[in-house]
Amino acid sequence: MNIFYRKLFLLIPFTLVALFLTACNAASAPDAESNEPLLILEWTGYEATEYPEYFLPFTEKYGETINDVLEYSFFGDDSEALARMQAGVEADLVHPCRSWWGLYVDQGLVQPIDTSRLTNWDGVPDELKELGQFNGEQYFIPWDWGYESILVRNDLVQDVPDSWSDLWDPQYEGRVSMIDASDVAFIIGSLSLGFDPWNTTPEQNEAVKQQLIALRPNLLNYWVDYTETYDLPASGDAWVVAGAWQDAYGYLTDEGYDVSYIDPVEGRIGWMCGYAIGSKAKNIDRTYEFLNAALDPQSQANMANDFWYGVSNFDAIPMIDEKVIELLNVSDFDSFFNETVFYQPLTEEQRQQFSAIWNEVKASQ
């Protein structure tokens, strides 16, 4: 036997053993995909561990083991969430709001979503799907939405406003509480002047700044914590709250206060938030499992009935309370979608511009 065949003969037993051991190790090795906890970068108050009814198929499946398969990392606002992802947080899912979505895509922080793996995707209207599309691909799954509008204590005002420009009416002197947020303030100022907030000229930017400065005599304060939109109208300190979410209206009506949630002639401002899969996600199968639970009709209806939030899966609408449907104005979808001033994705330049204008406005007070 020559040396080549002698080596081959000696090698065969060891090769077979190696293959056998490899097969055994593969069979006994833990499945990283199914055993690593799903990491979600999330707002406080949306935890499936605390609110299982909003993600029913997922929470029902895992039951008491939910804390073993799901892990949360919380952020306080969208700027913090983006900074955390930029810093390298390897979240499987992140839940930002729409004006920030383009920045995640541009910076490669999220990956395209395979919508064929979404079992409840057909219930989402095409118009909402398109909000999460970039470069012809679906990067974000719209999940929760709502309004920022004008909340009014009817019994404390002489005339109920019907326009964003009415915030400057002298009858509300010292009784307007306005949100302390640069983008919302800029949009409100723009709409009150008849401008397109996302396509303003330098001259219009200056006009918006002066308009916001001119609101000073009517201001009670700039609100920061959403609970102020409950407490200030309840106490009567604020007669008009600008930038309020619809849940404040729900709370105050349930408490018996005479309030209105205005649909301004220029349109309510509409926010939309949703989930994206991180570009470094490690747990893809469980990620899709969670997304399917989030879009489950009953889960979405439970969230809407609790928070008065809008849902993305319209198959949930028959299970939502009539008073919530009426407030959200989704019975006529075309009217709702076309008359709502939804946030548009902003460039970093626009974001810095809004912030600079808002800082000047507050410094002038």
- Write out the chain in H/E/C secondary structure: CCHHHHHHHHHHHHHHHHHHHHHHHHHHCCCHHHHCCEEEEEECCCCCCCCHHHCHHHHHHHHHHHHHHEEEEEECCHHHHHHHHHCCCCCCEECCEHHHHHHHHHCCCEECCCHHHCCCHHHCCHHHHHHCEECCEECCEEEEEEEEEEEEEHHHCCCCCCCHHHHHCHHHCCCEEEECCHHHHHHHHHHHCCCCCCCCCHHHHHHHHHHHHCCHHHEEEEECCCCHHHHHHHHCCCCEEEEECHHHHHHHHHCCCCEEECCCCCCCEEEEEEEEEECCCCCHHHHHHHHHHHCCHHHHHHHHHHHCCEECCHHHHHHCCHHHHHHHCCCCHHHHHHHCEECCCCCHHHHHHHHHHHHHHHHCC
pLDDT in tens, 235-288: 999 999 999 999 999 999 999 999 999 999 999 999 999 999 999 999 999 999
Query: Residue 164: what pLDDT?
Result: 98
CA distance 98 to 277: 15
> In this structure, what token pair is assigned to residue 208?
């918006």
Query: Residue 13: what pLDDT?
Result: 43
Q: How far is CA 130 from CA 135, 197, 208, 288, in A?
A: 11, 20, 30, 19
Q: Could you give the angle at which helices 284-294 and 297-307 cross, rounded to 10 degrees? A: 60
Q: Which fold, 146-269+346-363?
A: D-Maltodextrin-Binding Protein; domain 2 (3.40.190)
Q: To the nearest whole number, what is the mean pLDDT of the chain?
A: 89
Query: Residue 318: what pLDDT?
Result: 95
Query: Residue 2: what pLDDT?
Result: 39
Nearest-5° Cα angle at 325, 321 to 328: 140
| Residue 105 one-letter amino acid | V
The CATH code that applies to domain 35-145+271-342 is 3.40.190.10
> In this structure, what token pair is assigned to residue 46?
């949306």
Residue ranges of the chain assigned to CATH 3.40.190.10: 35-145+271-342, 146-269+346-363
Query: Residue 338: what pLDDT?
Result: 85
**Ranges of the chain with pLDDT below 70:** 1-35
